């Protein structure tokens, strides 16, 4: 065996990695394995991996408080520019810890490019309705960085919006990097939920800014904090029930690890499909079983048609009898006309 035949090239399709020759037909099970593995690694590598089945979540549960957290991944497009792969997940809060690390309980993901934000909102709502007794939920929170689509999700669900503290600190640190003393003061004002004090600090920071770039950063910070103050103040009013937002880490694990952490570019349909498959797998759904289930034929219509064929044949036979053998001219004494018509009536038809 030559060196070239033993070593897979980067351009070879997953079918070759699976041991199939060019133009060979892959069985449904092989294709299902490839789709499953492609959610984790490149299509080329997918052919050499095995798939393991995971378990899905239990049926509907009851929860007094439910948290919805959201963020996005910037995916390089083949046509240039970037597409936004959106990730939303629900959780009941913190479960048992693994050492010093807090773990969220009963996490369910929804992901995709979702240019139509209402479609995303509907999918998230359907997921909640599928997993939980809606009437049992007393409080619903949506946490994120303040993007319009995340706020739109909060409005759609009738939830309380919480501005992610990670993005609050990131905004303050980047915008007031030129004056560390005011940066600390602004952080204290925000943590104390004092809007007037925060505005005062930002006003002094703008006066202290030496360049137009520094002034613009201060202005953006003011717009961000003031525009999302309801999401900041909710941390105080909802204190007993709120939890920290870890959406950045979930985006990294579920989306970025496959879509954007490597130097690759995607078509929008491809990025959308992989995002959805990654979310399904993170939810504990076996992609292999899902593909096989989708490919299974629906025999309901076939059985109905097969059952109805005999009755339809009987109806057709009766109609044929009425048309060809129930003419008054064909009854009575014989004549040349009657003989001719009767001969026509006995001709077989298809």
Same domain? For 120 and 24 the reply is: no
What confidence tens digit (pLDDT) does each residue in 302-312 have? 666 666 666 66
Could you say which of 218, 249, 269 is where a domain stops? 269
Q: Which residue has the higher pLDDT, 225 or 15?
A: 225
Is the Cβ–Cβ distance between 242 and 141 less than 8 Å? yes
Q: Say what the pLDDT of residue 292 is.
A: 78
**In this structure, is residue 257 part of a structural domain?**
yes
Same domain, 101 and 25: no
pLDDT at 325 over 70: no
pLDDT-based confidence at residue 326 (cuts at 50, 70, 90) = low
Q: Is residue 284 part of a domain?
A: no
Q: Which of 83, 239, 74 is nearest to 145 (CA)?
A: 74
Mean pLDDT of 108-125: 96
- Asked if residue 94 and residue 154 are part of one domain, the reply reads yes
Task: Check whether residue 81 and residue 155 sit in a common domain.
Answer: yes
Q: Is the model's pLDDT at 205 over the cut of 90?
A: yes
For residues 22 and 156, state if they share a domain: no
Q: For residue 288, is it within any domain?
A: no
Task: Classify residue 227: in a domain, yes or no.
Answer: yes
- Is residue 243 in a domain? yes
In angstroms, the Cα distances linking 200 to 52, 63, 166, 234 are 57, 41, 22, 21
Under DSSP, the state recorded for 103 is -
Distance CA 131, CA 134 (A): 9
Whether 79 is in a domain gets the answer yes
Torsion of CA 212, 217, 222, 225, to 10 degrees: 170
**Domain shared by 154 and 24, yes or no:** no
Both 319 and 264 in one domain: the answer is: no
Give 266's strand partners. Answer: 77
By residue range, what is the domain housing residue 326? 301-345
- My answer on whether 84 and 20 are in the same domain is no
**Is residue 147 included in any domain, yes or no?**
yes
Q: Are 271 and 75 in contact (CB under 8 A)?
A: yes
Domains held by the chain: number: 3
Q: Record the pTM.
A: 0.70
């Amino acid at each position: 065996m030559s060196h070239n035949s033993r070593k897979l090239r980067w351009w070879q399709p997953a079918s070759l990695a699976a041991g199939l020759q060019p133009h060979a037909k892959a069985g449904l099970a092989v294709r299902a394995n490839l789709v499953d593995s492609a959610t984790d690694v490149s299509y080329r590598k997918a052919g050499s991996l095995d798939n393991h089945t995971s378990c899905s979540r239990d049926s509907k549960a009851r929860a007094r408080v439910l948290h919805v957290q959201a963020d996005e991944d910037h995916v390089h497009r083949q046509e240039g520019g970037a597409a936004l792969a959106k990730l939303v997940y629900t959780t009941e809060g913190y479960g048992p810890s693994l050492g010093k690390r807090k773990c969220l309980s009963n996490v369910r993901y929804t992901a995709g490019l979702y240019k139509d934000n209402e479609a995303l909102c509907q999918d998230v709502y359907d997921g909640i309705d599928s997993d939980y007794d809606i009437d049992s939920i007393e409080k619903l929170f949506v946490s994120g960085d303040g993007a319009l689509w995340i706020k739109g999700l909060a409005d759609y669900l009738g939830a309380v919006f919480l501005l992610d503290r990670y993005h609050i600190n990131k905004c303050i640190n980047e915008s007031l990097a030129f004056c560390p003393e005011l940066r600390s003061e602004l952080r204290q004002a925000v943590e104390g939920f004092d809007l007037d004090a925060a505005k005062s600090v930002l006003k002094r920071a703008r006066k202290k800014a030496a360049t137009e770039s520094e002034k613009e950063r201060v202005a953006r910070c003011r717009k961000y904090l003031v525009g999302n103050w309801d999401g900041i103040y909710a941390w105080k009013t909802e204190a007993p029930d709120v939890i920290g937002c870890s959406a950045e880490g979930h985006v990294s694990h579920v989306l970025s690890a496959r879509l954007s952490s490597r130097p690759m570019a995607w078509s929008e349909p491809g990025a959308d499909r992989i995002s959805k498959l990654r979310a399904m797998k993170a939810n504990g759904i076996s992609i292999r079983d899902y593909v096989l289930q989708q490919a299974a034929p629906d025999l309901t219509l076939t059985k109905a048609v097969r059952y109805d064929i005999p009755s339809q044949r009987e109806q057709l036979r009766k109609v044929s009898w009425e048309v060809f053998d129930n003419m008054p001219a064909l009854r009575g004494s014989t004549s040349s006309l009657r003989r001719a018509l009767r001969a026509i009536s006995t001709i077989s038809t298809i």
